[in-house]
């Protein structure tokens, strides 16, 4: 299997958001089949930022896999306001791809519906 055969994770993006990077794939990182076919999803594709979005109200969502290249790692999502990376509004961690997706969508929806 190659990365071309893997679809991106579906994320509902409301108005006001700009997607700067999307390498968030519809794959669970612990699927053993990837290692047996010469394709290691975690080591080959979970490097650095895997999903980044910004909102015109100054919010940013940054999702990484940590530690990088570690199959036992997890997703880490930072919610940043006005480029204050030292004091994130929220830090959320999970190994569950669908859990992270739900959290991204919730934050996006709430920001887009603020007055």
Q: Please give the model's pTM, rounded to 2 decimal places.
A: 0.83
Q: Would you state the pLDDT for residue 67?
A: 80
pLDDT reported for residue 37:
46
Q: What is the DSSP string of 25-68?
A: BSS-TT-THHHHTT--HHHHH--SEEEEEEETTSEEEEEEEEST
Q: Give me the numbers of helices (H) and strands (E) for the chain, helices first please.
A: 3, 5
Q: What is the pLDDT of residue 94?
A: 95
Q: Where are the domains of the chain?
A: 3-112
Q: Which of 113, 81, 111, 76 is nearest to 96 (CA)?
A: 76
pLDDT recorded at residue 26 = 83
Angstrom distance (rounded) from CA 113 to CA 115: 6
Measured CA to CA, the distance from residue 41 to residue 71 in angstroms comes to 9
Tell me the pLDDT of the chain (115 aa) as tens digits: 455 667 888 999 999 999 998 888 887 766 543 454 445 555 555 666 778 999 988 999 999 888 876 777 889 999 999 999 999 999 999 999 999 999 999 999 999 887 5
């Amino acid at each position: 299997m190659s990365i071309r055969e893997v679809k991106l994770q579906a994320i509902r993006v409301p108005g006001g958001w700009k997607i700067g990077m999307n390498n968030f794939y519809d794959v669970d990182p612990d699927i053993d089949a990837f290692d047996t076919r010469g394709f290691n999803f975690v080591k080959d594709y979970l490097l650095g930022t895997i999903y980044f979005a910004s909102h015109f109200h100054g919010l940013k969502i940054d999702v990484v896999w940590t530690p990088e290249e570690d199959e036992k790692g997890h997703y880490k999502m930072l919610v940043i306001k006005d480029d204050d990376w030292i004091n994130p509004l929220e830090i959320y961690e999970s190994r569950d791809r669908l859990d992270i997706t739900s959290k991204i969508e919730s934050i996006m929806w709430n920001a887009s519906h603020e007055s």
